[in-house]
Structure 1
Amino acid sequence: MNIMELMERSKDAATVKRVFGEPIQQGDVVVIPVARVAQGGGGGQGQGRGEKNEEGTGSGGGFGLSATPAGVYVLKDGDAHWRPAVDVNRIVLAGQIVAVVLLLTLRSLIKKRGRKR
């Protein structure tokens, strides 16, 4: 399979159906799930001779697809409301980063204060 075929097939992976899920209806409420979808690809090719008169060749390729929940649209009584998804892992990671930066800052301040005495 060549690189152009791979890229053409990858277009099918990032459709609106991947971003907006099938609506779910419960009574008079409709919920439409939404996801963040990102894709990327790369490729390469080569021919000709190598550096030491070796016969040249080449190949390459790659593709990545990522989808994470973004939230839902809630449709009720003719109104649409956005309800974002909460990524607890991201919140915890941000808290840990803030804590480490705070500790390192306090450590440097204590060291400076100790040197002045």
Structure 2
Amino acid sequence: MELREFFEHLSGARRVYGEPYEKDGVTVIPAVSVTAGGGFGHGERHGPEHGKENGGSGGGGGAIARPAGAYVIKDGQVRWEPALDVNRIVLGGQLLLGLALILIARHLRRRR
């Protein structure tokens, strides 16, 4: 895959919306939330104490895609059905529980 094709693949609606499919008169168009990032670097170090030129370069990137939901088309009506991210719900519950335990412990210490 050429670099141009790679960036075309990462951009646009093809990256966010899946292929529509139909069953029993209902059309479903899945959608995802995509977050991507990248970076590049370059460095050089010169000086007589080094005896030779030093240099460096690097780069990296990544993307995360999570289900967002789907558009459901039935009888000419379109509705949005959000995806349920159970992992995010569990993590949020754990964070709230941890915060509650910290607050309870602080409250009990002050009462002594």
Q: Give distance in 2, aligned partners of 1:40 and 1:51.
A: 38
Q: Give distance in 2, aligned partners of 1:35 and 1:50.
A: 51
Gaps of 5+ in 1: none
Displacement, 1:47? 4.4
Count how many residue pairs are aligned between Structure 1 and Structure 2: 109
Q: What's the TM-score, normalizing by structure 2? A: 0.85
Q: Give distance in 2, aligned partners of 1:52 and 1:41.
A: 34
Q: Which residue pairs with 1:97 in the alignment? A: 95
Following TM superposition, where does structure 1 have runs of at least 4 consecutive aligned residues deviating by more than 4 angstroms?
Answer: none
Displacement, 1:52? 3.4
In structure 2, relative to structure 1, the CA distance for the partners of 1:107 and 1:41 (3 Å cut) is same
In structure 2, relative to structure 1, the CA distance for the partners of 1:109 and 1:47 (3 Å cut) is closer
Displacement, 1:18? 2.0
Q: Give distance in 1, aligned partners of 2:31 and 2:79.
A: 13
Higher strand share: 2
For residue 22 of structure 1, give the secondary structure of its aligned residue in structure 2. Answer: coil
Q: Give distance in 1, aligned partners of 2:102 and 2:29.
A: 44
One-letter amino acid of the counterpart of residue 38, structure 1: T
For residue 38 of structure 2, give the secondary structure of its aligned residue in structure 1. Answer: strand
Displacement, 1:41? 1.1
What is the Cα-based RMSD across aligned positions, in Å? 2.1
Q: Which residue pairs with 2:41 in the alignment? A: 44
